[in-house]
Chains A and B, each alone.
Chain A
Amino acid sequence: EVQLLESGGGLVQPGGSLRLSCAASGFTFRKYAMTWVRQAPGKGLEWVSTISGSGGGTYYADSVKGRFTISSDNSKNTLYLQMNILRAEDTAVYYCAKFGDGGYCYTDSCRGWFDPWGQGTLVTVSS
């Protein structure tokens, strides 16, 4: 059974940093692209970032580009999201998700749906 467990959320001041982790199990981690999706309180889903299985391709939403960095450690089966220069509008539940079977990455992007999702970790940016 695929399991994804996020950690690292919490309260941080504007301008601060936080690193989220997503521990994966139940599948061959290095073979799948992984993604972060966030959901602000009472709002819809927003794609944040995706990384290819090899880690060689990374993709970001414009809203986080230059501030967030996605990475993965295939030896630890763990996905990360380093979040810097945090703003109030980054307040959200952050979910990690695995690309579904059939998803793949190519030269310029990754293509795939998200399944399954982790339980999420709440990040609150406030003074």
Chain B
Amino acid sequence: DIQMTQSPSSLSASVGDRVTITCRASQGISNYLAWYQQKPGKVPNLLIYAASTLQSGVPSRFSGSGSGTDFTLTISSLQPEDVATYYCQKYNSAPLTFGGGTKVEIK
């Protein structure tokens, strides 16, 4: 099975900083990758699918890139409401595995 590895597992950044989270697949998955945001105590929410397509209603400061095995989620200017754990998920075929998550905090 394909493994999904996220890095870092946590980060602390200042408001306005550019934040980048990486997700690596152990085998190529084309662009079949989604990103989710889970705020503390809340339900996961879809941010991006097809590696780079922003879900409707998601702020444009979020962006995704990559294909094959290496993917990134970027927050161009970190806001206080972005405090959350972010997960990548591969969906090319079952098992529809998630990465381990990246916890983002404000410095």
Contact = CB atoms under 8 A, between A and B. Distances in A.
Interface in B51-93: 55, 85, 87, 89, 91-93
A44 B94 contact: no
Contact count band on B: 20 to 34
Contacts of A110: 94, 96
A44 B91 CA distance: 17
Interface in B12-35: 32, 34
Which DSSP category, helix, strand, loop or mixed, fits chain B's interface? loop
A112 B53 CA distance: 13
B93 A113 contact: no
A119 interface: yes
Interface string A90-109: 00000100001011000011
Contact count band on A: 20 to 34
Contacts of B92: 111
Contacts of B100: 44
